[in-house]
Structure 1
Amino acid sequence: MNSFWFYFVEGWRHIISLDALDHQLFILALAVIYTFGDWKRVLVLVTAFTIGHSLTLALSVFDIIRITTSWVEFLIPVTILLTALWNILRQNKPKKMNANYFLALFFGLIHGLGFANTVRMMLASDESVGTGLLGFNLGLEAGQVIVVLLILLLTELLVAALKVPQRMYIFAVSALVLIISLKMALERVPLLS
């Protein structure tokens, strides 16, 4: 059980840590278009992201898949940038979850590759790989739920209580996320060799 809690805390830190800006920006871009009344829909999206993240972590830990770290580190901010751009170009909150769900799942696959090397090394000396992966992914999901709830509460405060127009709020937050992720992507462009 100690192994489970160790990895749970590591998963929690993976999203809550100040070093997790890319992860937090993606969750922000994913959740900013929703209000607190949509919390169930947002949790489904975040869970889809976690499923994708978990799948590539598992495939990597078992050495089934390996992708060059420089490309993964570049693709992560690209996924954030695309999500923020989609928010800016979209006129209304999506009525159906299908596209967003698959987007979150697919981008989760890419984000999972970003932390795969670290998790692979952590789990390499551990006999309970399954317990470690489960603990890490549950810690990650718990952290994401907290981040989502904070985003939804902030949205509720600004849009409902302070009457900031929701479209303006979405545009402003998404534009900020787009600028930060563009800067991150440009800093991480892999050198072609």
Structure 2
Amino acid sequence: MSEFWIYLQLGLRHVLDLKGYDHMLFLAALMVPYTFKDWKKILLLVSVFTLGHTLALLLSVYKILIIKAEIVEFLIPVTILITALYGLFTAGKPAKMDNAGATVLITVFFGIIHGLGFSNYFNAILGGDAADKLLPLLEFALGIECAQIIVVLAVLILAYIAQTFLRFSKRDWTLVTSAFVIGVVLPMIATSEIWT
């Protein structure tokens, strides 16, 4: 039971760590167009992001997919930027009917990229062969999922407060939040090691 708690906490800290806020930025950008009534779609998106993240770690553990850390560390803020730009340019526009499938696929892909960013550290802390890493990986994934739900709830509560009490329109909330995320992520891209 104690090992379960260790890897669950590691997953929670991975997302909720204020020093490594990339997950929070991505989730804020991804969730900005949604409200509590969209809970099914929100849960689906959070879960497929976790699935992509876990798949990347699994592929890394079994040495099927290995990408240089500098490339992944560059791609993480790029995925956040793309997500925020999407929110910025679609704010206030009616949602397309078959938009959900594309959003799910993109979210899985972005989850894979974010998972690759953690793969070197994850492989370093786990000893033994690949088979010994499967259970800790699943425990870690559960921690990721729980932490992401916490972040999403915080974003939805902020959206509710902004739209209900501060009288932001949904469009304005989306624009402001997306612009904020873009403003935070552009320096991350500009100072990436990939440019050196």
TM range (shorter): over 0.9
| 2:155 matched residue in structure 1 | 151
Structure 1 runs (4+) deviating above 6 angstroms are: none
* Cα distance, 1:2 vs structure 2: 2.0
Following the alignment from structure 1 to structure 2, what is the Cα–Cα distance between the partners of residues 35 and 163?
A: 15
Q: Aligned partners of 1:102 and 1:49: how far apart in 2?
A: 9
CA distance in structure 2 between the partners assigned to 1:84 and 1:3 by the alignment: 37
2:58 counterpart SS class = helix
Residue 179 of structure 2: aligned partner: 175
Could you say which residue in structure 1 is the equivalent of 2:107?
Answer: 104
Aligned to 1:92: 94
Instruction: Confirm or deny: 8 A CA contact 1:11 1:140 kept in the other structure.
Output: yes
Q: CA deviation at 1:63?
A: 1.5
Residue type matched to 2:169 in 1?
A: P
Structure 1: gaps of 5 or more residues = none
Match of 2:29 in 1: 29
Is 1:121 aligned to 2:124, yes or no? yes
Residues 33-89 of structure 1, C-alpha deviation per residue, up to 9 Å, x if partnerless?
101111221111011111110000011112121100000000000000000001111
Structure 2: distance between partners of 1:173 and 1:11: 25
1:65 alignment counterpart: 65
Instruction: Provide Cα deviations, 1:164-189, integer angstroms capped at 9, x if missing partner.
Output: 11101100110110121111011115
Q: Distance in 1 between matches of 2:182 and 2:77?
A: 9
Alpha-carbon deviations, 1:72-114, whole Å to 9, x = none? 0000000000000011111234544212111111100100000
Alpha-carbon distance in 2 for matches of 1:128, 1:68: 24
- Equivalent position SS for 2:53: helix
Q: In structure 1, what is the Cα distance between the partners aligned to 2:94 and 2:84?
A: 14
Inter-partner Cα distance in structure 1 for 2:147 and 2:133: 21
Instruction: Return the match for 1:137 from 123, 138, 141.
Output: 141
TM-fit CA distance, 1:191: 3.9
User: Aligned residue for 1:76?
Assistant: 76
TM-score after normalising by structure 2: 0.92
Are the aligned partners of 1:4 and 1:134 in contact in 2 as well (CA < 8 Å)?
A: no
Contact map agreement 1:39 1:152 (CA 8 A) in 2: no
CA shift for structure 1 position 20:
2.4
Structure 2 gaps of 5+ residues are none
Distance 2:71 2:101 in 1: 27
Mean Cα deviation higher: 114-123 or 90-99: 90-99
For residues 134-186 of structure 1, give each alpha carbon's deviation from its aligned partner in whole angstroms, at most 9, with x where no partner exists. Answer: 11000000000011011111111111333211101100110110121111011
Aligned positions, number: 192
